[in-house]
Amino acid sequence: MGQEIHASHFSEQDQARFDSALAAETRLARTLFQQGGFARTGMTAGYELEAWLLDRNFYPKPCNQRFLQALASPLVVPELSRFNIELNGLPQPLTGRGLSHMAQALAETWSACAHTAHADGGSVLAIGTLPTLREVDLNLASMTPASRYRALNERVLRARGGRPLTLKIEGLTQLDTTHRDVMLEAGTTSFQLHLQAPAQHMHRYLNAATLLSGPLIALSANSPFLFGQALWHETRIPLFEQAVACGDDDAGHRVTFGHGYVGPDVTELFDDNLLRYPVLLPLCSDAPLDDFAHLRLHNGTVWRWNRLLIGWDAQQQPHLRLEQRVMPAGPSLIDMWANAAFFYGAVHMLATQPLPPERLVPFDTARTNFYTAAREGLQAPQTWLDGKVWSAQELLTQLLPLAREGLNRLGIAATDIDRYLDVVTLRLRTGQNGAAWQLAHHARHHDLFKLTADYLAHQRSGAPVHEWPL
């Protein structure tokens, strides 16, 4: 969905032509994989960070068109709403100083964004869900003017037969409401990590990422408030899953944890997309089949929390990469890179163990771990490889040496390993991640505007969240 399209209305002929091209490209992806045509070397990392634009009163500021024009950076692009933006960075080899190079690049882009927002009388903020967000802020008037977003809204509502979207979240309190467009999605912002691995091993990395999703979301949780209510520690998860639901059946739920671990031929996920999910955006392309234009567009409208993507490397060889979508934005830049270091190290170790760990934890258990951790955070029960049930905080503490060894084996610089994993260690020792800090702050002050103001000040300080006072 990151690519722009040039229409928002489609004919039956468009649908038929798109379906035919999608089927052909899906078959080609399977053939290319079986023939060893996807890149079989290299470990490369990348990221995307979604963020909020705020006004002086800490409400969302719908000004991203003006903001982006003033910023004039190809690394920063619009998101669904006029008050969201997305920051990108160039991929880096996952070795040596790769992590710190990406962190430095993001810091420079973030600084430019902060200065541009300040010059326009606002701020930029990285947080999963904005505490001061009101439901009235999420309307079509605040949608970024782009054909892909108009088309997405029209097609989702068409698939629902015009019925409004329903949002029901039961957590610390209960939220039950309806919405007549897809703008609920704009309430969720994330820090997405990419990992290109050798194609023949990609299934191991996807399955390891799936297995890690529960502990990882507990570690990074930063979204406890929505529309003034405390819900899940990571409310972003149920919000996004319900924001673009095309129906009540399985095919209607397009934001999903998945339906099982993947086998050695990971292109089966593209087959699953073809067979399970109706096409939302049948925009036809004249590009050659091996550009996978139709497959990539359709894949972009199925939001698995751990998603397989097709891309091209510097030598223009097609590659497969994992997009890990679990973690929210924030609380600080150092926190996000600490999360990234933990993920890359732990996923590499799990993916390279002689006995695949997914054989020890049923997929349904991994899914339960994920949603329980999203709901309860660091205190959530997690069933792990030994069959025992640990709190997420206890399990993450046990996984830290695994992550450290994984980063060592990748050749990450020792100074970077220490810097980032020390942040994780202290966060686990204090039990204070972003969600825990927000909930404790609100329990003390009962003021979401003060919470947002203090959060912004702490984020600007650069201090990791375990050091933030209440």
Integer Cα distance of 275 and 269 in angstroms = 10
How high is the pLDDT of residue 8? 55
234 pLDDT more than 70: yes
Average pLDDT, the chain: 96
How high is the pLDDT of residue 147? 87
Backbone angles phi, psi at 77, to 5 degrees: -130, 165
How high is the pLDDT of residue 411? 98
Q: What are the boundaries of each domain within the chain? A: 12-462
pTM for the model: 0.96
% of the chain at pLDDT higher than 90: 94
How high is the pLDDT of residue 5? 53
Among the listed ranges 8-12, 102-106, 235-239, 315-319, which one has the minimum average pLDDT value?
A: 8-12
Place of tokens 């970024």: 144
Integer Cα distance of 164 and 156 in angstroms = 10
How high is the pLDDT of residue 2? 52
State which fold the 12-462 domain adopts.
Creatine Kinase; Chain A, domain 2 (3.30.590)
SS3 193: strand
Among the listed ranges 142-151, 303-312, 390-399, which one has the minimum average pLDDT value?
A: 142-151
Cite the DSSP H helix spans in 253-310: 268-276, 293-299
Query: CA nearest 4: which of 157, 152, 189?
Result: 152
How high is the pLDDT of residue 11? 86
Residue type, 387: G
User: Predicted confidence band at 7 (pLDDT cuts at 50, 70, 90)?
Assistant: low
162 pLDDT more than 70: yes
Q: Are 2 and 147 in contact (CB under 8 A)?
A: no
The angle formed by the CA atoms of residues 418, 422 and 426, to the nearest 5 degrees, is 175
User: Predicted confidence band at 249 (pLDDT cuts at 50, 70, 90)?
Assistant: confident
User: Predicted confidence band at 127 (pLDDT cuts at 50, 70, 90)?
Assistant: very high
Supply the angle between the helices 202-220 and 392-410 in degrees, to the nearest 10: 130
Integer Cα distance of 45 and 96 in angstroms = 12
Q: How far is CA 265 from the centre of its chain?
A: 24
pLDDT tens figures, 79-95? 999 999 999 999 999 99
% of the chain at pLDDT higher than 70: 98
Residue type, 41: T
Give burial (CB, 10 Å; 0-12/13-18/19+) of 457. Answer: exposed
CB atoms within 10 A of CB 289: 14
469 pLDDT more than 60: yes
6 pLDDT more than 70: no
pLDDT tens figures, 308-353? 999 998 888 999 999 999 999 999 999 999 999 999 999 999 999 9
Integer Cα distance of 413 and 306 in angstroms = 27
